[in-house]
Amino acid sequence: MTTHVQIRDLVVEYSSGGYPVRPINGLDLDASPGEVVLLLGASGSGKTTLLSILAAILTPTSGSVRVGDAEVTTLRGAALTRYRRDTVGVVFQAFNLIPSLTALENVEVPLRAGGVKRKVAKARAKMLLESVDLAERMTHRPGDLSGGQQQRVAIARALAHDPPLVLGDEPTAHLDYIQVEGVLKILHRIADDGRLVIVATHDDRMIPLADRVVNLTPRADVESRPPVRVELAAGAALFAQGDVGDLVYVVESGEIDIVRTRDDGTGEQVAIVKPGNYFGELAPMFGLRRSAGARATEPTVVTAYTLRDFRERFQLVTPTETLANAAD
């Protein structure tokens, strides 16, 4: 049942408003059975996208995702169905139970879909619901269950085929703190059974549960470091669109062209930054990727500052002030 996950140079790119967006850009990740891996990050940071790829529901733009012996990105047809059914169990954010079915029937569904006989499926579904402390609520429909109970049914359903990999998409998003505790305990127990549990969340309460935390939101370097002088030849790129941004730049001499690339590969000029002006402050401030690329149009010298140093130098104390002074 043990299954390792190995992700290499994973890239997901899609179009948004005519511009290519890369929520995941060159991600590497290794995870082992028994681990609880937490994918932390703000909305849009690619947490759910990564889970979808691991669940073989979304195909990445490039890169490799190996789960056990399977290269997930190449699965098709019956192999894909088998993988989704047998290798991976998903606990969805909104529970996603079928409202017309009882708790027991909801857990039975993946078993019956997998060809398990009715009696066997019912017995296993009962056992799974008992394991999540829902023995008394088996015949209730989702509408008659609390959020925490629904989430536990969803966990039981995810375990129907005893998958070695369990994915949780914001499993505590709709729960109060009492319900969260119960769900966290169950998730930890699942991992203790030798499964690999990967949970996407922006809920800091889950951090103590994790064996490992993978932060998908780019973080700016908050430490103070000496400014770095960067010399660029004409046409040289300082950073590319989609890069993680942790420094702010001030043009000392020359000229920087800020260009946003469209889906069709053509560029759209956002700004030309002249000596004495700065650029690139929004990405480190808000934990975003670079929304445009920067390239020197002539021999140019820029100085790179950490966000803290930049604020001190330019007397921009709050993000609001910085935003108000932003070039674009």
Helices 118-131 and 147-158, packing angle to 10 deg: 130
Instruction: Name which position in 7, 37, 84, 287 contacts other proteins (CB under 8 A).
Output: 84
Q: Does 105 bind other proteins (CB under 8 A)?
A: yes
- Residue 153 phi, psi (nearest 5): -60, -40
**What are the angstrom distances between the C-alpha of 305 and each of 221, 237, 288, 289, 321?**
10, 18, 17, 17, 17
- Judged by phi (left if over 0) then psi (alpha if -120 to 50, else beta), residue 18 lies in left
User: For residue 21, what is the enclosing H or E element?
Assistant: strand 19-31
The yes or no reply on residue 42 touching other proteins (CB under 8 A) is no
**Looking at 91-99, 178-186, 240-248, 298-306, which segment touches other proteins (CB under 8 A)?**
91-99
HSE of 173, CA atoms in CB hemisphere, 13 A: 14
**What size, in residues, is the chain?**
328
List, in order, residues 6 or more apart from 184 with CB less than 8 Å away: 172, 205, 206, 209
| Among 57, 222, 228, 317, interactor with other proteins by CB under 8 A | 57
Binding of residue 252 to other proteins (CB under 8 A): no
Residue 131 binds to other proteins (criterion: CB under 8 A): no
| x-marked contacts with other proteins along 141-180 as a string, rule CB under 8 A | ----------------x--xx-------xx--xx------
Shortest reach from residue 87's CB to other proteins, in Å = 9
Q: Of 4, 22, 112, 308, which one interacts with other proteins (CB under 8 A)? A: 112
> Out of 81, 131, 261, 297, which residue is the one contacting other proteins (CB under 8 A)?
81
Binding footprint of other proteins on the chain (CB under 8 A)? 48, 51-52, 55, 57-58, 81-82, 84-86, 89-90, 92-94, 96, 98-101, 105, 109-110, 112-114, 157, 160-161, 169-170, 173-174
